[in-house]
Chains A and B, each alone.
Chain A
Amino acid sequence: MASVTLSEAEKVYIVHGVQEDLRVDGRGCEDYRCVEVETDVVSNTSGSARVKLGHTDILVGVKAEMGTPKLEKPNEGYLEFFVDCSASATPEFEGRGGDDLGTEIANTLYRIFNNKSSVDLKTLCISPREHCWVLYVDVLLLECGGNLFDAISIAVKAALFNTRIPRVRVLEDEEGSKDIELSDDPYDCIRLSVENVPCIVTLCKEEACSLASLLVSVTSKGVVTCMRKVGKGSLDPESIFEMMETGKRVGKVLHASLQSVVHKEESLGPKRQKVGFLG
């Protein structure tokens, strides 16, 4: 994490600036820094995306594997999240140091996807109670430069958009035993609809000198799926409502931009030059 120590005078300066809708680097209060998104970075996954937001660098890989559906939801597949805070972000994450942050982020991701509308899990079902697709979404934190949750949610959405799950057919034998046949054509696959996948918007009063912040996860239609307060300090109830409204507004714009960029990237087709980390 950016370990910047600020003096009291600098903190007062920042807070005054925010009240005038002006941040240290010239942005307005509701503006994001430049975000770079690239999909299909890792070729042996079902889908992947890399997001660079300022100094924050996230890589997400999605692998689709076959598994058995959960007992309480026999007609649906499911998503499993795993977050790995790599030691390259900061030496404190070496060994097990990054596990705490990783579990916290993974739990937040589980919560925001824990509703019926985010991802249509019924499309992941192959045969009820027996086989389904399990999507393992693995998030790799390469560099931490602030605003982690937003960048991660953007990356997860882009990676899910990029995911290609092969089409399978279930063949019924005479004895009744089922056989699963994978389609031969590598391009014959199903794609997930990520229209309702939410993005997290973090709101606070300038990260380095704020005590508390609010995470709001918003879908493209402006529906709030999850809300969480993080940080040591406390928030006023009125400011929470205000923050939620701001979050919804910003979230909608973020979604619209992300959709257009990702669709545009895809329209460049398989001939596009993959840059990855070499750019």
Chain B
Amino acid sequence: MSIRICNLPFNSSFAPQPRARVSSRSTRVFARTENDTQQQQLNLSVLRFTFGIPGLDESYLPRWLGYGFGSLLLLNHFSASAPINEPQLRSEALGISLAAFSIALPYIGKFLKGSVVEQRTLPEEGEQVFVISSNIGDSLKEDLAWATYVLLRNTSTIAVLISIQGELCVRGYWNCPDQMSKAQLHDWFKKKVDEIGLADVKETLYFPQYEGSSASWDILPDGTRSLFVQPLIQDIYEPQKMDGFLLVASTAGYAYSDKDRAWIGAMAEKFRG
């Protein structure tokens, strides 16, 4: 484990500080420039814990420390001799609540601006399907093919379904029966979608922590964590003129940030009207 300490005083002005103090320090010092998110520029971290093991996410360190120290506290409590005096109880209570807070820290950190979104994982079983209705014109087919491709590529989506006036375009990893012809698959999806009644969704639905649900939703692949449904409403005061909807699912939790949802809405606009 190495603790890298940068002696640059941390302030948010990000102006390059004079480096004269670096050489006077005896400990190993260097600055790391971070380009975590696109919104940051040259960013000099003050302190960074890192084990130096690639792939290990140190942002969960408070959680592990919370579990470890909390269990040690409990061990200490139960192995102490019988009359535990009050000061000890107080400090143990403090320790336990600190441990609980530390365990919750990574969860809180996920909602801060600039936090890293987890990557999607592709489902191991199942293959990709690409089904498109045959009842629609060629230019619309092309648009649908392009839109689904772009959604799969530019967001952490693994499954996308676009429905326009009942005609479907389905792409990605879905939980559907194999050995069906394309036309049969299309009808199967259509039936499933009608069961769920997604075509009547009037506003966007976003489930960032999808846990799995009733039988009709089992077309979604295993491990779906985020779900976003964007309706293509023709005209809000004439609900019978619903155009359809666009559904994207991802295996990463909180996969669709505001920006992602804005872009998905823009893609849905393409098929409106």
User: Do these two chains interact?
Assistant: no
Residues of B whose CB lies within 8 Å of any CB of A are none
